[in-house]
Amino acid sequence: MSKYTRILYHIIFSTKYRNRTLTTSKRDVLYDYIFGVLKNKGCYGFCIGGVEDHIHLLSDLKTDVSLSELIKDIKISTSSFIKENNLFENFDGWQDGYAAFTYSINEKENVINYIKNQEEHHKTKSFKDELIDFLKKFEIKYDEKYL
């Protein structure tokens, strides 16, 4: 029998020190590059969005790709891509760590809409507050000093 899976991962990671370097005008170039990384790994990216200091993406994972490996590959390759193409002035890399949450296929559209509306959402909520809300929603224990 073949392997059949569809586990949706909502992945969130931020710029180093949460510097606000991901300017609006060039984010789509970065997102297209990330979609390419996902495709090369055999994963399907449903949606990518974010603001100046962090990114959200919704993707599935190919059965032989680990979540940590995928995120590491995205961070390493995008850091090089950004620097080689002078995409974002003052970009100094990605912060260590990430957050990832799983969703059922029935929740896909809600997560996509959430990711697409990051600009509006972050007019009233900080990244840290958003992350804490997710950690509480998914009942994940955390230490405030690592946020």
Domains of the chain: 8-146 (3.30.70.1290)
With cut-offs at 50, 70 and 90, classify the pLDDT of residue 1. confident
User: Are 101 and 10 within 8 A, CB to CB?
Assistant: yes
Residue closest to 89 by CA, chosen among 28, 36, 21: 21
Cβ atoms of residues 15 and 53 within 8 Å: yes
C-alpha–C-alpha distance, residues 137 and 114, integer Å? 15
Q: Residue 125 — φ and ψ, nearest 5°?
A: -140, 135
pLDDT of 25-59, one tens digit each?
999 999 999 999 999 999 999 999 999 999 999 99
CB count within 10 Å of CB 96 equals 10
